[in-house]
Amino acid sequence: MGSLRNKRVLLGVTGGIAAYKSAELIRCLQGDGAQVRVVMTPAATEFITPLTLQALSGNPVSLELLDTAAEAAMGHIELARWADLILIAPASANFIARLCHGEGNDLLSTVCLASHSAIAVAPAMNKHMWENSATQKNLQQLREQAVHIFGPAAGYQACGDIGEGRMEDPAALSTMASALFSTGLLSGKKVVITAGPTREALDPVRYISNHSSGKMGYALARAATEAGANTVLISGPVQLEPPERIKIIAVESAADMLSATLEEVEGADIFIAAAAVADYRPASVAEQKIKKNDDDMYIQLVKNPDIVATVAALAERPLTVGFAAETENLEHYATQKLHKKNLDLVIANDVSDATIGFNSEDNRVLLVQPGTSKALPTMNKSLLATKLIEHIAALLSSSKLKTSQS
């Protein structure tokens, strides 16, 4: 069963009497764990006020494509990157037609064109408009474009007719949205993921660490669980809410992380090394706090164990995925890491770009595997995690197929 916990839903509201149900829909989505932002078409504001939806969502409602303040920061692109799901409810016959044909003449249609996230529409219109062959042709084309169609329901309509065309009830729409995040791609598989930084002690109060927030690793753990996996998350010290339905093992140092990894990776199908493990640790740890003096201090460092390479060298190893955080020559260094450590996939990102990577809500990565590479565009880490798990699940399926044929 899917979940909207920690998911970002961009609710698009178009013109129609069913727009009043959008207020209840926001509550249902939030009740199921989603963060909600709202985009309204100009016609929608004739049926329900932006202030109402702003008060309920807790976020400003976006209205205009040509908003000077918003577009100074490319507002429509920011909204497109933010969303894990764009849910258009109600979706009028007019908007469905425009979405079908790729028009971008208002903010909502432009966001849809710019987004890599899932899109779902909840049709709401008179039954004769719903039955019209042009509407049905448009809906079929949207299905072919992987747009999800939620409903419609049948019953009494505002115009007095009775039949199909009513927008689905908000609670039902929230349940349908939740189901989109349950794929079953890794059903029955065990996935072990490392996340966050490690801390290498200098003395009882000081340590060497890095800026990793753990957000990417935690997002991957949620995405793997949504795909049906039995997920184990081995986490360094982070300030993140523990994901549900996931076994979490808290560790401090690289040695702790290696020990936990080797214990959990036995029998695993996939290992994803998303943690930013310290390459070095102090050669010795002072028993008492080191006192400041007038002289320079020199600390001898020794190399930490390489966790992902250790797993990749196991006789019966899982499909092994590494991360490469680089500041230059991204593909070159990622390819080097792939071959040197005998990995199946390296996910590389440029941490010199402050808008992505460490402590950011977004990321942009390059997927490097033997003989090929593929760039993914900038998107929020939750959506990116879903894309990465889909790619890794396909790799696992491909590797098992090759093994069975050999």
Catalytic residues: 159
> Which among 395, 349, 336 has a CA at the least distance from the CA of 376?
349
Q: How far apart are CA 35 and CA 235, in angstroms?
A: 25
Q: Which amino acid is at 362?
A: D
CB count in 10 Å sphere of residue 370: 10
Please give the radius of gyration of the chain, using alpha carbons only, rounded to the nearest integer. Answer: 24
Q: How far apart are CA 260 and CA 325, in angstroms?
A: 23
Counting every residue written for the chain, the total comes to 406
Check if the beta carbon of residue 181 is closer than 8 Å to that of residue 350: no
Burial class (CB in 10 A: 0-12, 13-18, 19+), 72: exposed
CB count in 10 Å sphere of residue 176: 18
Retrieve residue 382's tokens.
Answer: 């939750």
